[in-house]
Amino acid sequence: MEGRGLLASQVVVCCYYWAALERKISIKEESFMQKRKNTTAANNKQIPFGPPSLLFFLSSLLSRMLPTTCILLICLLSSLSPLTKASSLNLTLPHQHPNPEAVAQEVQRRVNASLSRRQMLSLELKEQQQCLIGNPIDDCWRCDSNWARNRQKLADCGIGFGQDAMGGKGGQIYIVTDSSDRDPANPVPGTLRHAVIQTEPLWIIFSADMTIKLKCELIVNSFKTIDGRGFNVHVTGGGCITLQYVSNIIIHNIHVHHCKPAGNTNVASSPTHVGWRGKSDGDGISLFGARKIWIDHCSLSYCADGLIDAIMGSTGITISNSYFAHHDEVMLLGHDDKYLPDSGMQVTIAFNHFGEALVQRMPRCRRGYIHVVNNDFTQWEMYAIGGSANPTINSQGNRYTAPQDQNAKEVTKRVDTNEGDWSDWNWRTDGDIMVNGAFFVPSGAGMSTQYARASSTEPKSVALIDRLTNNAGVFGDPRSSTSVSHPGDDGGGTITDGTNTGSEGSSGGDGDYFGMIFGNGAPPSSSSSSNTIFLSLLIIFILYVTINHGGALLSLPLLLTLL
């Protein structure tokens, strides 16, 4: 509005100035002509061309130049003045935004916000790429710093023959708050025993670090996940964990150690059933006719019998990312050469670290199909992989480091079987690396169809074995530089790998923002000249009509309306 008034006042001043001057010159011209006529009549002679004639000529010229000068001045002001911008002249359209600069600033704000998010996502992607190690299980969930908000995503990360184990996915979260095991026949709510015997799917987590000393074996019902992430959870004592005729179990990130035989007592196996249990063997984790079982990131040691035993037709099993140490008979798959149902057993053993002070059975197999893939065998005293009753063993991408004992360099052992009998067994090594004189004795015809039945996941290159198994066992164990911090009250959590790789960070200042500037600090944009040209021509036309036909004052309202 201020621009309109200024420009209109310029036009008014010019037009009124021109009208007044035109009138004054016209009067002088009439006076001069009358005087000249009188003088001519009196003297009857020609007046020489002199100062009066020059004055008349200049006055006439000025009177004819003033409208043109005024018009040119108006056009010049209209063309050069920034006030002729559309916003100043208020050349609005229907539904036009009243403050386009605010819109431009909002666009810039959103662009910058989007670029900021992009920069953040780029950094997160870079950190995620650094987090990814090629281990398909860990890469599935560990790179999400908010994993604690969606713990059940873990159920989608399984591989191998046990990948269909859903655990307690879809069920409620059960928080163990009481580490006691006072009455196995009538467990107290809030205890681990009370959680695992429930009939509905449950995702069981822990409220704090705790050591659970069992009085007897812990009988777990179907569709349960025991998830120790975020805390240091130990299960020890009598038993320990029994999976008998159940399915869909996930055991993740707990210590199982110093398990001993116990029993000859009543034990609850469901909310409505309590039964007599004989004396257990003292296994760390015992599978008896179980299926769809996944044991991941556990640390097992110092048990009376096996660390993990799977017998009596158990199948659909994955044992992954776990650490085994300080034990004699580590793992048994199949309990009797004559038990034919074990012929259908399928077990995946992947990304584990068989560590210090181990003797044998890593695993010891009877019948079935065993896929041993991308494990690190750093110690054994007798042998690493053994078997009887014609199991199919597919060893791929493992590292076998033999002990110093020259009599224990062989990785394999056919237990209590003549060579004439085992020469047809399908045992193969594919992409394994042998260290310190280790050697694998293969056998069988090498039929691809047979090994296909013992293949459960794509093996990685053995060159990646350190990365693949570096985090084996419970996160945060002293032997490992990896730890999982306890998620805070906001449900978040951080995961560190013990090495501060840092980040290159973003560049200072505005980063990658586009070079757009909006607001008062911006240089004025070049306005379109079409409106200015049209307006100038219209003014010229109106003034021309005024000059030649009069009525200048009547044309002013039209001018002001146009402006």
Domains of the chain: 2-92+530-562 (no CATH), 342-475 (2.160.20.10)
3-state secondary structure at position 382: coil
Q: What is the tens place of the pLDDT at every residue in 6-35?
A: 445 555 544 544 455 455 545 555 555 565
Mean pLDDT over 199-211 rounds to 98
pLDDT category of residue 500 using cuts at 50, 70 and 90: very low
Q: What is the tens place of the pLDDT at every residue in 381-407?
A: 999 999 999 999 999 999 999 999 999
The closest alpha carbon to 63, from 39, 37, 32, belongs to 32
CA gyration radius, the chain: 47
> Helix, strand, coil: what percent of the chain each, to 5?
35, 25, 40
Distances, alpha carbon 236 to alpha carbons 27, 208, 261, in Å: 123, 17, 11
Mean pLDDT over 290-297 rounds to 98
* Residue tagged 């993990």 (tokens): 308
Neighbouring residues of 556: CB distance < 8 A, sequence distance ≥ 6: 11, 12, 15
pLDDT category of residue 454 using cuts at 50, 70 and 90: confident
Mean pLDDT over 523-537 rounds to 55
Lowest mean pLDDT among 83-97, 256-270, 354-368, 439-453: 83-97
The closest alpha carbon to 277, from 221, 215, 226, belongs to 215
Out of 193, 277, 361, 364, the active site residue is: 361
User: What pLDDT, on the 0 to 100 scale, is given for residue 453?
Assistant: 75
pLDDT category of residue 154 using cuts at 50, 70 and 90: very high
Query: For this structure, is 361 an active site residue?
Result: yes
The closest alpha carbon to 349, from 433, 412, 293, 423, belongs to 293
